[in-house]
Amino acid sequence: MSEEQHVDLVVLGLGPGGESVATEAAKAGLTVVGVDERLVGGECPYYGCIPSKMVIRAADALAEARRVADLAGSATVAPDFSPVATRIRDEATDDWDDAVAVERLEKAGVTFVRGHGRLAGEGVVEVAGTRYVARVGVVLNTGTAPAAPPVEGLADTPFWTNRDVLRATEAPSSLVVVGGGAIGAELAQAFARFGSRVSVLEAAPRILALEEPEASEVVAASFARDGVQVLAGASIRSVTYADGRFTVAFTDADSTDLDLDADRLLVAAGRRPNLHDIGLETVGLDPSARSLETDERMRAGERLWAIGDITGKGAFTHMSMYQAGIAVRDLTGTDGPWASYHAVPRVTFTDPEVGWVGMTGQQARDARLTVRVGTGALAESTRGWIHGPGGDGVVKVVEDADAGYLVGATSVGPTGGEVLSMLATAVHARVPTAVLREQVLAYPTFHRAVSSALAALA
Ligand SMILES: Cc1cc2nc3c(=O)[nH]c(=O)nc-3n(C[C@H](O)[C@H](O)[C@H](O)COP(=O)(O)OP(=O)(O)OC[C@H]3O[C@@H](n4cnc5c(N)ncnc54)[C@H](O)[C@@H]3O)c2cc1C
């Protein structure tokens, strides 16, 4: 017979948002059980944002050093991946050990259970034979796992996902990256800067296909300078692995059948939501769904909340944390504000960085808004010109012309993610375009390209 324990709240999955909900709910006086089968903190600290940005930081240092030749004399660059591998192992992940995170959780008053949890009816989670019955309810934060496309032969090869590449101790001499989205693009460029011969295979007609076309164009030009081979519009036919080498057979955009050979293959072609085996059917929800429907308070059902990647509102740590705050307010009977998604930002940390918020021009047109767009090239701004090598970028603004405010923006540049903040505020607060135009912007900054983009609105 299974054991039964009565608590206030069960948090199933302790990604960034789940960890935060569990901690805050316990601090508010609820009895909380937090369940995770892997590492407390989820993908971001161990296999995602943090280690990938450490690789990128190091790779960008190499790129800047190579720019010395154009600006300040000479510098000898001899890439070595070991400092970044050591930093990831020792400083970021404690050698992929979550003891510190577990201790932090327990100190906040959360009971931590390591294991695979499943819903077993409303307000009940079962882990290894124990039923946790939650008076207030259950928060789901089960996140995503790397997905591999159904390509012939692929599953039989030792391909890398994000969970392998971020444990690498050296840069491979050659690397094929399947997927030119944010994760694939960031890592492709970073490894190229460490000296790997890198090819990116992307099914869409361009890399960073979710971004504005202008952003993809600037990043593609930067990739070309870094020696990254981009094969967009490619369709992979099969993958084989023999004698320590991968062979990827694909058909290119011109319908020509070609092969690529490499030491390593990184698959960064999407994520699978962890929804299929968490007992959703026991509460009347569909386990084969791509995401869970949530209301403005993050409620997904009776005594059930869902936060993070599984809500389909943007697979970002900041979204998981934002939704965690909302769920905690609802759980503890505190007032809103409740969820709003009109100004969700994201940054792709390629060089140049690509910051985006709200809507692309196409999304705004699809939403039948009366759209005006404007762009301003960084290279034509004083700061972009002063910056010289590595100073390429563009700002694009998307206006709802009837409403008279921005509904979206993109900022590409050396600090594109930082320049984004003023644009994100404008979209979030629906600042009238006329007011934005009145603003005095410091000279000579990259963000002055925002005025050029606003001036070009048409
Ligand atoms: C390479 C890479 C780079 C990224 N870079 C960025 C970035 O720069 N910025 C950014 O904002 N985002 C980035 N992301 C995305 C970010 O990592 C996620 O959005 C973030 O981790 C939030 O996810 P989450 O809260 O939904 O849960 P996750 O982090 O996915 O965690 C879910 C947790 O639930 C656990 N779990 C799942 N099912 C069960 C179960 N049945 N029982 C028990 N436990 C379970 C898992 O073990 C895991 O610990 C990146 C992702 C990757 C892969």
Of 329, 320, 336, 302, give the one whose Cα is nearest residue 134: 302
318 within ligand 1 shell (Cβ under 6 A): yes
Nearest CA to ligand 1 atom 7: 49
The backbone torsions φ and ψ at residue 291, rounded to the nearest 5 degrees and listed phi first, read -155, 165
Q: Residue 33: in which H helix or E strand, if any?
A: strand 32-36
The backbone torsions φ and ψ at residue 346, rounded to the nearest 5 degrees and listed phi first, read -150, 155
Coil, strand or helix at 404: coil
Q: Separation of 390 CA from ligand 1 center, angstroms?
A: 31
CB 154 within 8 A of CB 249: no
Nearest CA to ligand 1 atom 15: 316
Determine the residue type at 331. L
pLDDT at 1: 54
Measured distance CA(441)–CA(233) in Å, rounded? 40
Of 323, 347, 308, give the one whose Cα is nearest residue 15: 308
346 within ligand 1 shell (Cβ under 6 A): no
Write b or e for each residue in 151-174: b if 16 or more Cβ atoms lie within 10 A of its Cβ, otherwise e.
bebbeebebbbbeebbbbeebbeb
273 within ligand 1 shell (Cβ under 6 A): no
Q: Separation of 338 CA from ligand 1 center, angstroms?
A: 22
DSSP-derived secondary structure for 121-133:
STTEEEETTEEEE
Residue 260 tokens read as 């690529």
Ramachandran assignment for 357, one of left (phi > 0), alpha (psi -120 to 50 degrees), beta (any other): beta
pLDDT at 448: 96
Residue 311 tokens read as 């809500």
Q: At what angle do helices 213-226 and 182-193 cross, to 10 degrees?
A: 20
Q: Separation of 14 CA from ligand 1 center, angstroms?
A: 9
314 burial (CB, 10 Å; 0-12 / 13-18 / 19+) is: middle
Residue 90 tokens read as 């020792």
User: Can you list the positions of beta strands (E) in 120-234?
Assistant: 124-127, 130-140, 144-146, 174-178, 197-202, 229-232
Give the CATH superfamily of 345-455: FAD/NAD-linked reductase, C-terminal dimerisation domain (3.30.390.30)
Q: Atom of ligand 1 at shortest distance to CA of 118?
A: 41
38 within ligand 1 shell (Cβ under 6 A): yes
Of 414, 377, 381, 396, give the one whose Cα is nearest residue 454: 396
Q: What angle do CA 455, 456, 457 make, to 5 degrees?
A: 95
Residues of the chain with CATH 3.50.50.60: 3-41+98-145+272-331, 154-269
Q: What is the pLDDT along the chain (458 residues), one digit of tens a residue?
A: 579 999 999 999 999 999 999 999 999 999 999 999 999 999 999 999 999 999 999 999 999 999 999 999 999 999 999 999 999 999 999 999 999 999 999 999 999 999 999 999 999 999 999 999 999 999 999 999 999 999 999 999 999 999 999 999 999 999 999 999 999 999 999 999 999 999 999 999 999 999 999 999 999 999 999 999 999 999 999 999 999 999 999 999 999 999 999 999 999 999 999 999 999 999 999 999 999 999 999 999 999 999 999 999 999 999 999 999 999 999 999 999 999 999 999 999 999 999 999 999 999 999 999 999 999 999 889 999 999 999 999 999 999 999 999 999 999 999 999 999 999 999 999 999 999 999 999 999 999 999 999 999 99
37 within ligand 1 shell (Cβ under 6 A): yes
Nearest CA to ligand 1 atom 53: 48
pLDDT at 2: 73
Q: At what angle do helices 49-71 and 182-193 cross, to 10 degrees?
A: 50
Of 26, 11, 214, give the one whose Cα is nearest residue 109: 26
Pocket residue to mutate for ligand 1, from 12, 33, 44, most atoms within 8 A of Cβ:
44
Q: Atom of ligand 1 at shortest distance to CA of 166?
A: 1
Measured distance CA(191)–CA(80) in Å, rounded? 11
Place of tokens 């319908």: 255
Residues of the chain with CATH 3.30.390.30: 345-455
Q: Atom of ligand 1 at shortest distance to CA of 35?
A: 43
Class of domain 3-41+98-145+272-331: alpha beta
Q: Separation of 444 CA from ligand 1 center, angstroms?
A: 38
Pocket residue to mutate for ligand 1, from 316, 326, 357, 420, most atoms within 8 A of Cβ:
316
Class of domain 154-269: alpha beta
pLDDT at 380: 87
DSSP-derived secondary structure for 270-319:
-EEETTTTS-GGGGT--TT-SS----TT-EEETTEEE-SGGGSS---HHH
Dihedral angle sign, alpha carbons of residues 213, 215, 216, 221? positive
Q: Atom of ligand 1 at shortest distance to CA of 315?
A: 19
Pocket residue to mutate for ligand 1, from 49, 294, 347, most atoms within 8 A of Cβ:
49
